[in-house]
Structure 1
Amino acid sequence: MITIQCTKKLIDNSPFEIEPVKEETDPFFSWHAHLFFFNRKKCVIVMNNKTRYNFVLYGLKKKEFDNFSDLFKRTLTKNLRAEQIPEEQIKKYIRECDSFIHTKTSDRSIISQINEILWFAKDRMEEDKMMGIETDFIELNRFLNDIPMTKLNGFPNNVMCKEMESL
């Protein structure tokens, strides 16, 4: 089971049914999600609670919010493949994504790290816009996961790869 912990902004702009926060959830299968706007389009940044691995979803419409679990699994799979994580490990993780619950956020330090990563993401997206090119979100996400985080003592992509190996 995957837990998506949503910020108030995301809760207010999505059809998610919010459940109470469960303390016993595995941090490796828990993610924080935050809604932001870029070029008047809805975007969501999602960050893993344990590894701080993150990715941006751009230009979401109502149907994507209605099928958020499928979009999450597809996008996560694409990004993990880009990190060259073995397919068998990806499939093991995705099998755990059989059900989703949405709750309120529970960790202010993750929100702080999301805001920091969001600054880098918006900067890169704005730079692409000024150059007249469309942002490659797989490359953007790889860039964002190659930013060191002191809480991890490393890089989100490396920590995610190590955690995936232990599945």
Structure 2
Amino acid sequence: MINIHATKKLYAKLPAPISAPQSETTPLTPTLSLGEREQNPLSGWNANLLILQRRNCVLLVHDATRFPLFVKGLLKADFANFNHLFADALMNTLLKLGASQSQLDTAAALLAPCRFDTACDRSVQGTMNQMAGDLEHRLWFDNARLDDLSSYATGAWLSDRPCTVKGQKDCIWPNSAMLALLSRAGNSAPAKRNVIQLADYLSSRNG
């Protein structure tokens, strides 16, 4: 599974039964055990809903690497299809970074259904808020239209920065950290292949 910690604002947009009422400390779906995290290093994200130029957008940040994904212009029906949106954003953003074929294969093999809770991490949320602020500033400063912005290139742009992590002395660069994570995952054990066709992602790129 891909565990995603959603803000209340985003969680309210998710369709039932995912959006059933829950307390902040009792997620609807259990958080991953240490064993599950070791099996799927792609799991563990914080996500928030952004309203940019009156459009629903979602910004996700990977807990361990601070790697961001940006999904723009969501309609109501899109929230029910978040598994595809997540996979599309991840694979195409990695392509924008110039990930190797081995790293892409590993990422594709680790894709799994998304499950949501509201147990957000304040440290990751701090990174996410900084990225959201930079994105909003870029739209305003460049007088850019959201529709003209590539979601995948935006994710790659947001990943090219040093980020601080609580309890860690040195900064990490999300782009390098995510590619290194995929390399380690690919080398540690042969990943079971998902039925994922990279051609689908290549054909869906928007620039």
- TM-score scaled to structure 2, two decimals? 0.73
Partner of 2:5: 5
1:22-62 residue CA offsets vs partner (Å, 9 max, x unmatched): 25252641111100101110010011011000021111011
Structure 1: segments with no counterpart, 5+ residues? none
Q: Please say which structure displays the higher CA radius of gyration.
A: 2
Contact 1:81 1:87 in 2 (8 A): no
Partner of 2:183: 165
Q: Specify the code of the residue in structure 1 equivalent to 2:61.
A: M
Counterpart Cα distance in 1 of 2:161 and 2:144: 23
How far residue 12 of structure 1 moved from its aligned partner, in angstroms, is 1.3
Q: Specify the code of the residue in structure 2 equivalent to 1:7.
A: T
How far residue 154 of structure 1 moved from its aligned partner, in angstroms, is 2.5
User: Cα distance 1:132–1:13, how it changes in 2: closer, same or farther (>3 A)?
Assistant: closer
Counterpart Cα distance in 1 of 2:30 and 2:131: 24
Establish whether residue 78 from structure 1 lines up as the match of residue 92 from structure 2.
yes
How far residue 21 of structure 1 moved from its aligned partner, in angstroms, is 4.0
1:108-163 residue CA offsets vs partner (Å, 9 max, x unmatched): 111111111110111112234x2568223332222211111122612110111111
Aligned length: 166
Establish whether residue 44 from structure 1 lines up as the match of residue 90 from structure 2.
no
Contact 2:67 2:178 in 1 (8 A): yes
How far residue 95 of structure 1 moved from its aligned partner, in angstroms, is 2.3
Structure 2: segments with no counterpart, 5+ residues? 20-27, 186-207
Counterpart Cα distance in 1 of 2:158 and 2:69: 8
1:99 to 64, 89, 113: 113
1:60-79 residue CA offsets vs partner (Å, 9 max, x unmatched): 01121110010110111000
Counterpart Cα distance in 2 of 1:63 and 1:138: 21
Q: Describe the SS at the equivalent of 2:110.
A: helix
Establish whether residue 126 from structure 1 lines up as the match of residue 140 from structure 2.
yes
Q: Describe the SS at the equivalent of 1:106.
A: coil
Contact 2:91 2:107 in 1 (8 A): no
Contact 1:36 1:44 in 2 (8 A): yes
Q: Describe the SS at the equivalent of 1:29.
A: coil
Percent of aligned positions that are identical: 25
Aligned pairs for 1:113-152 (under 5 A) are 113-128=127-142, 130=143, 134-151=148-165
User: Cα distance 1:40–1:164, how it changes in 2: closer, same or farther (>3 A)?
Assistant: same
Q: Specify the code of the residue in structure 2 equivalent to 1:72.
A: F
How far residue 8 of structure 1 moved from its aligned partner, in angstroms, is 0.5
Q: Specify the code of the residue in structure 1 equivalent to 2:129.
A: N
Q: Which structure dedicates a bigger proportion of its chain to strand?
A: 1
Contact 2:7 2:120 in 1 (8 A): no
Q: Describe the SS at the equivalent of 2:47.
A: strand
Counterpart Cα distance in 2 of 1:58 and 1:132: 12
Partner of 1:108: 122
